[in-house]
Amino acid sequence: DADVTQTPRNRITKTGKRIMLECSQTKGHDRMYWYRQDPGLGLQLIYYSFDVKDINKGEISDGYSVSRQAQAKFSLSLESAIPNQTALYFCATSDTRYAGGPSNTGELFFGEGSRLTVL
């Protein structure tokens, strides 16, 4: 079983619908991230969370919200989906315990991605 699991893996929805992408991890890591990837643009950071009570906006948080329900779960919501949110979404985790302290961060471990299409 994957250490970082994303659901759903694929979703097609219509403009205006509310969508939730879920991420769960069994690695015991403290930090979790949501990225989106568009062709030619690399990965853009949407939100990141250092622990359950610490959530931060990334580069492109407008139109998105997140919830860190537990250390192992970090969900991303699109309250009212629009076509330009069509993208591949990745959840990732990292562990500061092996990163040399809070000024560093360890290796990112990614889920397999959730492909979202908004019509």
List the one residue from 5, 11, 13, 45 that touches another protein (CB under 8 A).
45
CB-based contacts of 42, cutoff 8 Å, min separation 6:
none
Q: For another protein, which is the closer residue by CB, 19 or 34? A: 34
Pairing label, strands 73-78, 19-25? antiparallel
Task: Tell me which stretch binds another protein (CB under 8 A): 19-27, 56-64, 65-73, 74-82.
Answer: 56-64
Q: Is 65 in the site for another protein (CB under 8 A)?
A: no
User: 30: how many CB neighbours lie within 10 A of its CB?
Assistant: 17
Q: Give yes or no for residue 90 binding another protein (CB under 8 A).
A: yes
Among 98, 58, 74, CA closest to 25 = 74
Among 15, 28, 104, 119, the residue binding another protein under the rule CB under 8 A is 104
